């Protein structure tokens, strides 16, 4: 995201100052008035959720807050989907398409280091130990934005030609070990069964200037898969390596061999790819060649077909290198998040909507090697995922997502509300066609 952040910063403060004026033209006056009226609530919700963060699959308080709000708005509300997920269904007064809007709810085991009156002091249990908890990725803003959009659109239900599904999703950062969760589990538990959306939109706040929205057609964020390789040799004394088969040397050769997959085996003009070995463990003593070595790492790419090829080539490379030395390699690949793939047709049709919201603040973002489980929804229906800038004007306050010093400028909140409201309305009214 860094290149996009620099590019956006070059536009200077004029973009930030122009946000309000652009937004006035982005939506009908009555809708803009509704958004302005709900913004104090959006800010209050955001601060409350930020002060009371909850880890994945434990978002009980957040879910209760959302449920009460949606029920007050008179929506059909479904709860406890994928443990703590909440879904609100707003049926318009006229028949029409179905659009889904998504926000993620979970926080991270991070200790907040930002001096805010509503800073988190929460501690919770994670993997058997007590840890600090913080909304270090901005999901508190996502929830507050979507709650605001829900209120705006519910006030217009009689005028809506179609249905809006509000998806408040737990565990985007990943379910705790031994549990399932997130978008994949929500889908498996029937999220899109009735009604089934024709499209889905989602956003994520990032440390880019307020008044900017980043988009990209096709692969925007990488798939994220984990692999393990167990190399088995034959133990021997370190002084006589020829008496056995050294799995440490074999593992070293495998590390180097794996790097030839993105650099020499895949079409470099198609998409970037990353093969990273993050850990190697083997041996207990300086003069003993061990029997086994364990390796683990991550695989990232932006194209579904390339993802399949990488899996096949990692297995083949590791097994054949090991066999050439008289060792064996057992490869396991654990599928994580798919490619966050913005449907090109949907993206192209909705860009005018986003441009009306931020004008010249609409920027084609570079690919990001981070991953997002919004990608599971995009495997089911066409989807568009985009970034909203929330960086402070003070460079000392700008830190990446997941940092204990991550700070979100609340001037980005109305940008998110306007963008999601405009996307929903334009899609339902067919202005995307």
Which of 337, 363, 386 delimits the end of a domain? 337
Q: Give the per-residue pLDDT at 285.
A: 97
- The model's pLDDT over 321-356, given as tens digits with 9 standing for 90+, comes to 999 999 999 999 999 999 999 999 999 999 999 999
Alpha helices, DSSP H, located in 338-380: 344-358, 374-378
3-class DSSP assignment, residue 291: coil
Non-local (6+) Cβ contacts of 35 within 8 A are: 27, 148, 152, 414, 417, 418, 421
Residues 252 and 108 in one domain: no
Residues 21 and 133 in one domain: yes
- Which CATH number belongs to the domain containing residue 304 in this structure? 3.30.70.360
- Which CATH number belongs to the domain containing residue 38 in this structure? 3.40.630.10
Residues 30 and 120 in one domain: yes
Which of 337, 365, 385 delimits the end of a domain? 337
Residues 124 and 14 in one domain: yes
Q: How confident is the model at residue 204 (pLDDT cuts 50, 70, 90)?
A: very high
The C-alpha atoms of residue 137 and residue 351 are separated, in whole angstroms, by: 25
Tokens of 313: 């080539």
The total number of structural domains in the chain stands at 2
Helix pair 29-51, 412-428: axis angle to 10 deg:
130
Q: Give the per-residue pLDDT at 431.
A: 66
For residue 76, give its domain range: 2-220+339-428
CB atoms within 10 A of CB 94: 12
Cα distances (angstroms) measured from residue 235 to each of 96, 311, 324, 327: 69, 29, 17, 11
Mean pLDDT of 301-320: 96
Which of 337, 366, 396 delimits the end of a domain? 337
The C-alpha atoms of residue 15 and residue 394 are separated, in whole angstroms, by: 16
Q: Give the per-residue pLDDT at 268.
A: 86
Mean pLDDT of 93-99: 96
Our CA dihedral for 333, 336, 342, 345, rounded to 10 degrees, sits at 60
Closest C-alpha among 103, 128, 108, 105 to residue 120: 108
Residues 248 and 207 in one domain: no
Three-state DSSP string of 168-190? EECCCCCCCCCCCCHHHHHHHCC
> pTM (2 decimals)?
0.90
Q: Which of 5-19, 36-50, 88-102, 198-212 has the lowest mean pLDDT?
A: 5-19
Residue 231 lies in a domain: yes
Residues 312 and 347 in one domain: no
Residue 276 lies in a domain: yes
CB atoms within 10 A of CB 80: 11
Cα 359 versus chain centre, distance: 25
Cα 414 versus chain centre, distance: 20
DSSP 252-277: HHHHHHHHHIIIIIS-TTT--EEEEE
Q: Give the per-residue pLDDT at 303.
A: 93
Mean pLDDT of 208-234: 97
The residues that are catalytic are 337, 410
Residues 272 and 299 in one domain: yes
């Amino acid at each position: 995201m860094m290149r996009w952040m620099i590019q956006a910063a070059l536009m200077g403060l004029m973009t930030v100052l122009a946000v309000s004026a652009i937004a006035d033209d982005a939506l009908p006056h009555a809708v803009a008035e509704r958004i302005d009226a709900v913004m104090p609530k959006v800010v209050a919700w955001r601060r409350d959720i930020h002060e009371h963060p909850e880890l994945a699959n434990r978002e009980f308080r957040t879910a209760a807050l959302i449920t009460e709000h949606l029920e007050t708005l008179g929506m059909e509300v479904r709860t406890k989907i994928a443990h703590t997920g909440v879904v609100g269904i707003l049926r318009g007064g006229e028949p029409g398409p179905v659009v889904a809007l998504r926000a993620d709810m979970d926080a991270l085991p991070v200790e907040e280091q930002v001096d805010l009156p509503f800073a988190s002091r929460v501690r919770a249990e994670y993997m058997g130990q007590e840890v600090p908890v913080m909304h270090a990725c901005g999901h508190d803003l996502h929830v507050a934005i979507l709650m605001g959009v829900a209120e705006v659109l519910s006030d217009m239900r009689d005028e809506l030609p179609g249905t809006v599904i509000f998806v408040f999703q737990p565990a985007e950062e990943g379910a705790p070990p031994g549990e399932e969760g997130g978008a994949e589990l929500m889908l498996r538990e029937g999220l899109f069964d009735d009604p089934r959306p024709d499209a889905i939109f989602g956003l994520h706040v990032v440390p880019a200037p307020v008044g900017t929205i980043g988009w990209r057609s096709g692969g925007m964020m990488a798939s994220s898969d984990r692999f393990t390789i167990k190399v088995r040799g034959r133990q021997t004394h370190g002084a006589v390596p020829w008496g056995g088969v050294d799995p440490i040397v074999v593992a070293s050769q495998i590390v180097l061999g794996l790097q030839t997959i993105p650099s020499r085996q895949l079409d470099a003009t198609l998409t970037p790819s990353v093969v990273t070995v993050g850990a190697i463990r083997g041996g207990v003593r300086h003069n003993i060649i061990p029997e086994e070595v364990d390796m683990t790492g991550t695989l990232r790419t932006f194209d579904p077909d390339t993802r399949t090829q990488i899996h096949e080539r990692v297995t083949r490379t590791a097994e054949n290198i090991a066999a050439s030395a008289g060792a064996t390699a057992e490869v396991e690949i654990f599928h994580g998040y798919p490619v966050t793939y913005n449907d090109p047709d949907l993206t192209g049709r909705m860009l005018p909507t986003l441009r009306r919201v931020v004008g010249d603040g609409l920027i084609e973002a570079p690919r990001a090697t981070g991953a997002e489980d919004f990608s599971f929804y995009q495997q089911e229906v066409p989807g568009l995922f985009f970034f909203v800038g929330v960086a402070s004007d003070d460079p000392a306050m700008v830190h990446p997502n997941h940092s204990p010093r991550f700070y979100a400028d609340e001037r980005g909140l109305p940008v998110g509300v306007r963008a999601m409201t405009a996307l929903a309305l334009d899609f339902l009214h067919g202005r995307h066609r």
